[in-house]
Amino acid sequence: MELTVAYLRERFRALNALYFDDQLPLPQLQVSRARTQLGQFSCMRFRKNIFSKATCTNFKIKISEYYEQTADEIDDTLLHEMIHYLIAFRGQRDASAHGPLFRVEMARLNALGRHITISVRTASFSPAVARRRRQHLVLAMQDNRGHFFLSVVHPAYRAFVERQLQQAPTIVAHQWQVSNSDYFDTFPQVRSLRARRVSRADYSQFVDTGK
């Protein structure tokens, strides 16, 4: 099956409600092409000072599309990473990457019918047939009120839109990039300075906000 960010969001919400009582805020979700691991969880740890307890932010889960997986296998991979997320979100530190805290949650979910494991041999999976994704010329913008915008611009009109930006005093920062993410498949390809307002979370999936 084809793996997309939209699909991961849908499954995260469903699994969060079913197994975690909706405790977990929606993290950044990404589709990767990793070959050595099916899923990956990451976050940024920081301390206010050397005496304070470390806290986590910028939670991110990546699921690889490199291998063919069934819907149930994708759910189990996502749940594996959601256990890591749960532990970090609670501010806990496990004894190891898959220590006692992880194993307790894994046993709880497996008792409910899941098939989560500590590790998965990727050699047992077949590589997915390569899919050609559409490329998008993306314009990312921030305005002076702290709002975030994304737009897909027709490549032939990039210079024209750039000139319009220079005459838009409310836009305080912008950048161009090329993306093949399916997130942008529903965006219209514009020929003038028009954009869709998005949340900081959606914006941060594609653009480094520096925060």
Residue-by-residue DSSP string for 144-192: TTS-EEEEEE-GGGHHHHHHHHHT-TTEEEEEEEEE--GGGGGS-EESS
What tokens does 197 get?
């307002």
Is this prediction's pTM over 0.85? Answer: no
What tokens does 110 get?
């497996």
Q: Give me the mean pLDDT over the 90-113 stretch.
A: 95
Q: Residue 45: what residue type? A: R
Percent of the chain having pLDDT more than 70?
91
Q: Which of 68, 85, 100 is nearest to 12 (CA)?
A: 85
Average per-residue pLDDT for the chain: 90
Task: Name, in order, each residue with C-beta under 8 angstroms of 23's C-beta and a sequence gap of 6 or more.
Answer: 16, 86, 89
Per-residue model confidence (pLDDT) at position 1:
67
- Which of 63-72, 179-188, 200-209 shows the lowest mean pLDDT across its residues? 200-209
> To 10 degrees, what angle do helices 71-89 and 5-20 make?
60
Please give the C-alpha separations between residue 124 and each of 35, 107, 112, 194, in angstroms, as whole numbers. Answer: 12, 23, 25, 47
Per-residue model confidence (pLDDT) at position 45:
77
| DSSP state letter for 67 | B
- Which domains are assigned to the chain? 5-124 (3.30.2010), 136-206 (no CATH)
Task: Name, in order, each residue with C-beta under 8 angstroms of 114's C-beta and a sequence gap of 6 or more.
Answer: 19, 75, 76, 79
Band of pLDDT at residue 110, cut at 50, 70 and 90: very high
Q: Which of 28, 30, 15, 84 is nearest to 62 (CA)?
A: 30
Quote the CA–CA distance of 63 and 5 in Å, as a whole number: 9
Quote the CA–CA distance of 71 and 69 in Å, as a whole number: 7
